[in-house]
Structure 1
Amino acid sequence: MLKRYISILLLLALLSAHLSRCFVYAGFEVNKSYIVAELCENKDKPELNCNGKCFLKKKLKAAEEKERKQEIENQRNRFQETLPPKVELPEPIKIAHAKKNYPQSIIKQTIDRSASIFQPPRGV
């Protein structure tokens, strides 16, 4: 029995986030006489026949803005969860390059071995 009440409560909590406009309309209809008498911006202009609709528009706009900000925040949280944690790379190892000094060639003349190694192909 307790599980049923908890599940209904959680279901209503989930739906309340998506039904904020319905709550705004319901609150407007319940308190319409007070809104028209006290909160309406155009109560000094009766020819507009506002009847509190200006207040309703403000509340609907605020509820929509709140939903949009909440959706952006949820997307940002999902994005941050998918990123891996910052990985620190080790410092590169510096290798000292020793400059090698090669001795100069002792042989002053060219070696002519190419004629004995490379020969043109023979005709068959």
Structure 2
Amino acid sequence: MKNAIVIIALMLLVKPVIPVLEYIINYDYIANVLCENKEKPELHCNGKCHLMKELAKASEDEKPVSGKKSFHQETELLFIQPLHNISFRVFILPESNKVAILCNNNYSLLAETSIFHPPAFI
């Protein structure tokens, strides 16, 4: 079982390199017969144009089929927690005639032990 998994993994890793290996093995044939620029020796193409076409074809084969369109929609969720009323009381201290303002902000802590996981879209 492990051997089959290793062989499949190696095939997936080697698949993009197959055109390059084919170019190396059949270098003379590709450079002399399949090269498109053999009439222009100053370019020193030596079949690299054919190699680029094969690599492009291999990368096109790896792309997912575009005929099957997937509809992807994103939705933003906004969670709102209502604010508590903040009340201010003004009173004057009798001995210093200074105004003091007391603020009652009704602070509360909601300690959650669970972690929020957003819903998964399929």
* TM-score, L = length of structure 1: 0.47
* TM-score, L = length of structure 2: 0.48
Structure holding more helix per residue: 1
